[in-house]
Amino acid sequence: MDFSTINPVHLLSATIMGIALSAACGLRVFVPLLTLALGARWGLVSLGSEFEWLGSGVAIATLTLACVVEVLSASIPLVDHALDLIAAPMALVAGTVVMAAQLGFVPQGSPEGQEMSPLVMWTCSVVVGGGTAIGVHSLAALLRVGSTVTTLGIANPVMAAVETTGSFLTSVTALVFPLCGLMLVIVAAVPLSLLALRILRKRRTAPLPQ
DSSP state of 155: T
Identity of residue 10: H
pTM, full prediction: 0.86
* pLDDT computed for residue 208 by the predictor: 42
Q: Specify if 91 maps to a domain.
A: yes
Question: Per-residue pLDDT for 202 more than 90?
Answer: no
Q: What is the largest CA-CA distance in the chain?
A: 71
Q: Specify if 34 maps to a domain.
A: yes
Provide the mean pLDDT of the chain. 84
| 120: containing domain | 3-205
Torsions phi, psi of 182, nearest 5? -65, -40
Over residues 94-111, the pLDDT tens digits come to: 999 999 998 887 554 455
Dist CA 53 CA 91 (whole Å): 19
Report whether 44 contacts 172 (CB < 8 A). Answer: no
Over residues 133-157, the pLDDT tens digits come to: 999 998 888 888 787 777 877 888 8
Q: Specify if 118 maps to a domain.
A: yes
Q: Specify if 210 maps to a domain.
A: no
The number of folded domains in the chain is: 1
pLDDT confidence band for 123 (50 / 70 / 90): very high
Over residues 158-167, the pLDDT tens digits come to: 888 999 999 9
Please give the C-alpha separations between residue 154 and each of 38, 48, 126, 151, in angstroms, as whole numbers: 34, 43, 35, 5
- Determine the average pLDDT of the residues in 179-188: 91
* pLDDT computed for residue 157 by the predictor: 86
